[in-house]
Structure 1
Amino acid sequence: MCWSATADLAAGAGVAAVGAVCVLRARRRTDLPLAALPLLLGAHQIVEARVWDTGGGTGPATVAWAVIALPLLAVWVPAGVLCAAPSHARRRLLLPLAAGVATAAALAQAMTVRPVRAEIRGHTMGYVIDLPQPELVIAGYLLATVGALLISGDRGLVLLGFLTGAGAVICWSLWELEFVSTWCACAAVVSVTLLGWVNSREAVAPQERVRQA
């Protein structure tokens, strides 16, 4: 989410490019879901450029944006963390995954009953969705996404969790003030951090193969 269609297109292309590098450099199949996350985030921003161009509303671009941001990410992130996490951490990661599945179901049901509406608010794009018990849904979403990273047992992913949590608070505060949308900057930080994580995993993988041999 950026402050204009042009900014969203530029940021989305850059984030997607980082995602392509992440996928190409990933050496473990279990790392691919997280390595591909920047591709999804980049596509998300490019979709929002279309939302800007159409002036908001409830059209297909708004629906696509909401599907990616809400139910899809709520499951994608904890599932990706579970795949990549060390074996000793996987049992505890079932909790954020379950929270993600339940949250995604609630969000999908809400989106089915009432359409999501996008509204241009100054230099930000606001999305309106009627949620039953919104505080519970938000808590489940944060547990599934940020929480999964923080309890992953992987140093790089824990760092990503702290950066994502702090970035979300800052971006949400600026967005609420309708000053400027900086979610695209948060997506860029997440993507670059994931690239560093993928590179560190690439360096460890050959050592593990030597020990196994």
Structure 2
Amino acid sequence: MLRVPEAPVGLSTAATYPQGAATAFEMAASLGYDGVEVMVWTDPVSQDIDQIEQLAERYGLPVLSVHAPCLLITQRVWSPDPTVRLTKSLEAARRLGASTVVVHPPFRWQREYARGFVELVDRLEDEFGIAVAVENMYPWRAAGREVAAYAPDWDPTDESYRHITLDLSHAAVAGQDSLVLSESIGDRLAHVHMTDGTGSARDEHLIP
């Protein structure tokens, strides 16, 4: 018999782009979501924890998770130092009552950050008591060639992380079977980005 775990379903503030975090809270409340994932990025409201707290209170929705600013376009949000950005994401999660922080593996050119990333994640989890769920990524493709853009790897199952985020769109880009990948993650699966993809070289984040 299949037993479906009682997992809360949140709406990401990224899902309402180009509208901001305020729209995500309003939409999540009107559609009956259990809460919100705050993607910290170029939207000024997403970077302002005071405003996020006010939105959560206004709409009666908890912040379930915080997505650290680790995209190419957010390399200077909060700090140019990726360790500081991740730490501030955990501070925000603790203040907002979120149980999970989502983070991507480092870019390969972030050499110092990448060198100590696995140990950093482990230490911050112990320090904050919050799951740092490292997200599966994918190889970049250009002109028929694959580029290793992430370190230590785009596939977090190869490392000793205690918690992993499974992004279904990213799995599609990587040519991975999401069900097989979820089985390989096992009980380390802490968070899922429920999106879709056609298997192209572009991260599509389609509606499931």
TM-score under structure 1 normalisation?
0.28
Higher strand share: 2
Higher helix share: 1
> Rg bigger for which structure?
1
